Amino acid sequence: MFAQALQPQTVEQRLATQNRRMAKINISIMRDDRFALWSGFLSMGTIKILDKDFTARTNGIDEEYSLSFIETLTDKELAFVRLHEMLHKAFKHLKVYNKLYKQDAECANKACDYLINYLLWEADPQGKTIALPKIALFDAKYKGLNSKQIYDLLRKQKQQQQQQGQGQGQPQQGQGQSQAQGQGEQSLDEHMWDEAEGMSDDDKKKIEEQIDTAIRQGTSWQVRPYSRTSTTTLRRFASGT
C-alpha cells in the first residue's frame, strides 16, 4: 500500500491536479480587491494546460500553460503568471505593438513583460496574493513608462551593446541591464504574435469588443481606490498610449 502511494502520477492525474489548482488561483485573484476589477479578463478565451515544453503563452485571447512549468511555481507565483497573461490581453499588446515585434521581436517581448511585471509587483509589493517568479523580467527604472517607451530604451541599449561588441568583443550576458532582485533576463512567457495577426477580421473585432466590455465593467465596479486607479491604467495601456 505504501509503495503504491509513492508511484508517480500519470500525465492525466497531473493535469487534473493543476487544473484544480488553477481554479483555486482564479478564486484567490477575484477575492483580492486589488485584482477583482480585472476578473472579467480571467474568463476571456480558452485556458489550457498542456504537457509540452514551454512556460506560458497567449495569442491575445487564449492562454496556454506548460504543465511542467507551473508545477515548479508556488501558488502566488502561479497567480502572478495568470495575471501576467491576462494583462497582455487587457493591454492589447499583440495588436498594438505588432509593428515593434516585426522590427525587433526580442525588445518587443521584453518591453511588454517589463511593463506588466512592474505593474503587478506594484499592486501587491507585500506578496499577499501574488509573487514575482524568479525568471521574470523586473526593473523599477521603467516605472511610469508604457511598452513603447520601454522598447525604445531597450533597443537603444541593444544597439549600443552591438556597437561596443564590434570594437571590443561581445559584452557579457546582462551587461548594461539593471535587474532588480536578481531577476532573469528572458521573457516569462511566449507571445504568439503571428497567430494573433493571422486571426480573421471578425475574430479580431470580437476580441476588441470583449476587452472593451471588460474595461467598462471595471469602471462601474467601484471597489477600492487602488482598483479605480487600475481601471485608468487599463484604459491607458489598452489604447497604446
Q: 66 forms bridges with which residues in the sheet?
A: 50
Q: What is the mean pLDDT of residues 84-102?
A: 92
Q: Is the pLDDT of residue 183 over 90?
A: no
CA gap 72, 21 in Å, rounded: 13
Q: What is the mean pLDDT of residues 2-13?
A: 77
The three cell numbers of residue 64 are 496556454
User: Where is average pLDDT lowest: 20-29, 80-89, 129-138, 210-219?
Assistant: 210-219
Per residue in 189-234, pLDDT (tens digit) is 889 888 999 999 999 999 999 888 877 766 555 444 444 445 555 5
Query: Which of 222, 205, 240, 216 lies closest to 41, judged by CA?
Result: 216
Write down the pLDDT at residue 174: 40
Global pTM reads 0.82
Write down the pLDDT at residue 178: 39
Residue 98 burial class via C-beta count within 10 angstroms: exposed 0-12, middle 13-18, buried 19 and up: middle
